[in-house]
Amino acid sequence: MTPDESASEREGGLIDEPEVREALAAADRGGVAAVVTAHPSSPLAWAELADRADSEGNAIEAYAFASVAVDLAQEQLAASGWQPGAAVPWSDEPNRAYLRALDAKRRAAAGLGLDAQVSRLADELSSADAEAPARIASEYTPTQVITIVTADQLLAQVDATATTGDQVAEPAALDAAGED
């Protein structure tokens, strides 16, 4: 507590952004850009946008979005007393935006063939928190983009196949010896 009995500022970490987390949780894949527009200084929103671009195979966009997230996060961290190369603990949830952005930028750099960047970013991520790469891989690895098919669309496909598909011949009747 500070002398005026108010809670002290967190030291060496990113600002918690509960409103951004809530907006991201409510957004669909296409809605992440709107969250970034509403919160343009949020490293978390930009990191999420980078992960989405990466999951869709857009390495250039992922690299650009992750670069913005890393820059914004480093500005916030520096304002709280952080020095480049210092630890940024995964255990402090707001810091995960920075760590995820570093990893998204690393993945995008790999996709673009920027080998020197890949190595530098991997080292930076590992020095920020040695456990972060494994945590990100297990908790935040982008998923494949899949087409969502509604039940009505599936039934329409089944009905179309049933009426236009190849007719199946009736099985031949077998005699008592098991021959036709």
Q: What is the CATH number of the domain that holds 38?
A: 1.25.40
Q: Is residue 162 part of a domain?
A: no
For the stretch 63-77, pLDDT in tens is 999 999 999 999 999
Q: Is residue 153 part of a domain?
A: no
Alpha-carbon distance values, 154 to 105, 138, 144, 148 (Å): 38, 32, 21, 10
Domain count of the fold of the chain: 1
Q: Is residue 127 part of a domain?
A: yes
Q: Could you tell me the pTM of the whole model?
A: 0.71
Q: Is residue 25 part of a domain?
A: yes
* Of the listed ranges 59-68, 98-107, 133-142, 146-155, the one predicted with least confidence: 146-155
Q: Is residue 168 part of a domain?
A: no
Segments forming the whole domain that contains residue 89: 18-139
Question: What is residue 106's three-state secondary structure?
Answer: helix
Q: Is residue 1 part of a domain?
A: no
Question: What is the pLDDT at residue 102?
Answer: 96
Q: Is residue 164 part of a domain?
A: no
Q: Is residue 146 part of a domain?
A: no
Phi, then psi, of 126 in degrees rounded to 5: -65, -40
Q: SS3 string of 111-153? A: HHCCHHHHHHHHHHHHHHCCCHHHHHHHHCCCCCCCCCCCHHH
